[in-house]
Chains A and B, each alone.
Chain A
């Protein structure tokens, strides 16, 4: 029935916008409950002055060629499409306010890696595999002191080629390479910016890899209050969906296994079975979709789907045949993409799902872009587990 109505209303034009090039942020950071006291002098990788993890600082700064990496828990593209990367961004900061400006810094090399699983459940770059993607860094200016959002974008997408028949095919790490010698206490160097005082997710999502392949995981430093979240990610060539919540990282510490993986590690697991939560979904569809409308598809499912559904030429990850589909319409959650092709949806308050039948189910959301002539591409889906 749903398909009949949607066919009838949208079949005048079909799938015209999928070829449009865009760059959209794949944001895997936690949202809302992040905080930190800016350190006006040093870059903000760690809260505790003087602390540095073993192997990272021995007087000479970062080891040249080391990469700071972050795991993206992302079995998100259920279409099993390879990622089409159009660039990356990362926040940088020159180390000290006493250095002269302008000064020369650099936008680091960017890599995407196939991963191997860690014993603690997280993932880390697999040094036995060549990078799936390598984008070279460039020299760049720091005109003033303070933080910079460095953004590098390509005029055409580049495919991140995943090793065939490889385990953990849906997991990825991305990384930024150090030129060597950088440290927060070193004049004329630079650092990465992260959020420092939030509560942690429970599996490592940020670490660095020495040139030897030896990994170090930052997130384990939570035990001494040193958790931080890297501000950086990459851009993709198709619309994406980024979730934010009022519970990310906060109420499930330590959370219970099994691991949740999703496009936003902060909003992936909720305690919706015992209390109401607020979740917001932000669509990033690229400049070519400015002014278009996005329509949410929303349902509950006992598991995250493992395949997509073809619908009017668009591959959807939320199943339009799911009998629980349609509750999204009650939400009234349509939106218009702004001049940048973004739609920042309001946080929607969900009442607690106290019916035990739904415990451990998933709440899924996906947006479809309606262009002026029909259905355009959809975002990937995002799933929130009901715990």
Chain B
């Protein structure tokens, strides 16, 4: 009897769900375009020294690094807006990112966008060696979320 009730409820729910949906189209898969690969800008071509911070305001753009609020930031280090850039992500327990306040240059001469709260994000092209001997070339997004010390502790991290 329990099983029968369950089955009916599942089926009814499924039907109701299907009926409530628009004729939408599933999100298109991200396509990796190997020909668009651009090497990161080497240190020698950048004026900023490793560890330097340059204050600047950066406007959101129409395409680039997908931000949690639905806007985009210009990609960095040779990555272009049309490249397969992973999205930034903030968990529910994290505060909004805020505006970009500057650019950080890391030890490898690569640039990071820095946010009001001290978080930062960067992009670059990478080639990953796979254990089966193949390689994967794609865009890598690195994100440093500044969390302070008030984050303890509810739920797995």
| Residues of chain A having any CB pair with chain B under 8 Å | 1-2, 5-6, 8-10, 12, 16-17, 19-21, 23, 27-32, 34-40, 86-87, 91, 102-104, 106-107, 130-136, 138-161, 193, 195, 231-232, 242, 244, 264, 266, 287-288, 293, 295, 323-330, 332, 334, 340, 342, 344, 370-373
Contact = CB atoms under 8 A, between A and B. Distances in A.
A136 B120 CA distance: 19
Interface string B19-49: 0011111110110100000000000000000
B59 interface: no
A133 B51 contact: no
A142 B147 CA distance: 11
A130 B130 CA distance: 11
A148 B30 contact: no
A325 B86 contact: no
Contacts of A138: 106, 108, 110, 122, 124, 140, 142
Instruction: Please name the 7 residue pairs, one residue from A and one from B, whose CB atoms are nearest each other, closest first.
Output: A326-B6, A29-B156, A5-B11, A155-B84, A161-B131, A329-B9, A143-B118
Contacts of A159: 130-132
B7 A2 contact: yes
A236 B45 CA distance: 35
A154 B53 CA distance: 26
User: Looking at A1, A34, A139, A324, which has the most chain B CB atoms within 10 Å of its CB?
Assistant: A139
Given A155-B32, A156-B32, A37 B7 contact: no
A132 B130 CA distance: 8
B140 A2 contact: no
B13 to A, nearest CB: 6
13 contacts: A5-B10, A20-B26, A107-B144, A136-B126, A141-B144, A143-B53, A149-B147, A151-B145, A157-B136, A158-B130, A325-B3, A342-B92, A372-B26
A8 B11 contact: yes
A295 B104 contact: no
B131 A154 contact: no
B136 A156 contact: yes
Nearest to A330: B6
B81 interface: no
Contacts of B154: 32, 34
Contacts of B155: 31-32, 34, 244
A104 B14 contact: no
A37 B152 contact: yes
B131 A153 contact: no
Interface of B: 2-11, 13-15, 17-18, 21-27, 29-30, 32, 50-51, 53, 68, 83-87, 89, 91-92, 94, 104, 106-108, 110, 112, 114, 118-120, 122, 124, 126, 128-132, 136, 138-157
A104 B128 contact: no
Given A91-B157, A323-B3, 14 more contacts: A9-B18, A29-B157, A34-B155, A86-B86, A133-B131, A150-B143, A153-B86, A156-B30, A158-B130, A195-B152, A244-B156, A288-B27, A326-B5, A373-B26
Contacts of B132: 159, 161
Contacts of B147: 91, 146-149
A156 B146 CA distance: 26
Contact of A10 (B14, B68, B114, B141): B14
A152 B142 contact: yes
A86 B157 CA distance: 18
A325 B7 CA distance: 8
A35 B154 CA distance: 7
A143 B14 contact: no
A23 B130 CA distance: 18
A246 B95 CA distance: 26
A370 B17 contact: yes
A231 B157 contact: yes
Given A21-B30, A161-B132, A153 B108 contact: no
A355 to B, nearest CB: 14
B155 to A, nearest CB: 5
Q: B21, B112, B150 — which one has the most chain A CB atoms within 10 A of its CB?
A: B21
A216 B81 CA distance: 45
B13 A295 contact: yes
A334 B7 contact: no
B10 A154 contact: no
Given A134-B129, A135-B128, A155 B138 contact: yes
A153 B140 contact: yes
Contact of B145 (A32, A130, A148, A329): A148
